[in-house]
Amino acid sequence: MSIRERLSGNEAVATAMKQINPDVVAAFPITPSTEIPQYFSSFVANGQVDTEFVAVESEHSAMSACIGASAAGARAMTATSSNGMSLMWEMLYIAASSRLPIVLNLVNRTVSGPLNIHNDHSDAMGARDAGWIQLFSETNQEAYDNAIMAVRIAEHKDVRLPVMVCQDGFITSHAIENIELIEDDKVKAFVGEYKAPWSLLDPAHPVACGPLDLQHFHYAHKRQQAEAMRNAKKVILEVSKEFEQMTGRKYELLEKYMMDDAEVAVVVLNSTAGTAKYVVNALRAKGIKAGLVKPRVFRPFPVEEIADALKNCKAVAVMDKADSLNAAGGPLFTETASAMLVRGVTGPKVINYIYGLGGTDVRTDDIETVYNRLLDIASTGNVGEVYNYLGI
């Protein structure tokens, strides 16, 4: 029997961490993720968990402490945002290349500069090639659910990669929503007891972690890392299926909303998907065949799945809440267009919109203008400008 609650996204994630009861949490505060370790530290102080909470002097130290703990055989978690993750930069790569199943709750906030504390996806997209699995969360419920599933995904023997669980700063991190919590005993049974396959603290089986890796060995280890990322697709689906059996909540690599007969569609991540679904419903009420694709998993990128979801559309707009500043398009756009090309999907006309940078509001009428542009492209075949900015 699920537990009905009303929680902010940050409190929901901290509650998931409490139920998981990791061995080590190391964290340093930064808006808008500060509440996650703040809530969790109160659980530690109240004796509700037996986690070793390490209050460090910087985000670089937070990830360093998680790496040390994970290499010693502990289940480790942390949380950060924006410039905080930028300060972790060196350690993100080391965590992934050392195959350490750390879970990082990333509350998305734009990376300076100019200095801004509000939401966009520049932090997550900046780290998209660091070797971390990346899960995105539309709602508080999804952030909570992803935080629990992330542990199982990261620790799977065929994966053993760190996982980044993303949610939109302030939009979901601080907003309070109805949520269904899972009973503590069920969460504990679902994540299981962590048994590391190796540990720096096991003198009977000595290992090296993070040694100097010269040419051939480095190449071989990077290839192993890439294979683990490939394996992650299957594992994510397996873990999600087991989660569905426990909760009734279904998760796949991406969500297809009204896509069965869609002629125009938007591809968008995180909380903006909820706004876009409202627009889709309004357009459908007018007889317009509009749809939406919301990737839940950005790493590994769902190439086959996204190409298949969009193949029958006439026009598609990929919306990026981060700009690659490459004069060609945002990261979600370039990867979606590439996926469609390599899978032989050439029918739809595809355009890109950069939107919402630095927390700029994106309203339903903004998204409706995107769908209207797609309808025009679908009827005339005239694409016009591919690389666009919404609302500015």
Q: Quick one: 110 and 191 in the same domain?
A: yes
Round to whole Å and give the CA distance between 8 and 252: 24
pLDDT at residue 258, as a whole number: 98
pLDDT at residue 2, as a whole number: 83
* 103, 131, 230, 191 alpha-carbon torsion, rounded to 10°: -10
* 239, 241, 247, 248 alpha-carbon torsion, rounded to 10°: 160
- pLDDT category at 1 given cuts 50, 70, 90 is low
Contacts of 377 by beta carbon, 8 Å cutoff, 6+ apart: 314, 315, 349, 351, 383, 384
pLDDT tens-digit map of 240-261: 999 999 999 999 999 999 999 9
Q: Is the pLDDT assigned to residue 384 strictly greater than 70?
A: yes
Q: Quick one: 307 and 181 in the same domain?
A: no
The pTM of this model reads 0.97
Q: Quick one: 136 and 273 in the same domain?
A: no
Q: Quick one: 227 and 267 in the same domain?
A: no
- Could you tell me the two tokens for 117? 């504390």
Dihedral pair phi/psi, residue 285, rounded to 5°: -65, -20
Boundary residue ending a domain (221, 247, 273): 247
Q: Residue 243 is part of a domain; what is its CATH number?
A: 3.40.50.970
Instruction: Supply the DSSP symbol for 188.
Output: H
Write out the residue range of the structural domain in which residue 352 sits.
254-389
- Helices 184-191/140-155 angle, 10° precision: 30
How far apart, in Å, are the Cα atoms of 349 and each of 119, 312, 379?
29, 11, 11
Q: Residue 346 is part of a domain; what is its CATH number?
A: 3.40.50.920
Round to whole Å and give the CA distance between 388 and 368: 15
Q: Quick one: 140 and 156 in the same domain?
A: yes
Q: Quick one: 45 and 178 in the same domain?
A: yes
Boundary residue ending a domain (223, 247, 271): 247
Q: Quick one: 283 and 160 in the same domain?
A: no
Q: Quick one: 377 and 304 in the same domain?
A: yes
Q: Quick one: 243 and 259 in the same domain?
A: no
Q: How many domains does the chain have?
A: 2
Q: Is the pLDDT assigned to residue 73 strictly greater than 70?
A: yes
Boundary residue ending a domain (247, 282, 316): 247
Q: What's the number of CA atoms in the CB half-sphere (13 Å) around residue 280?
A: 24
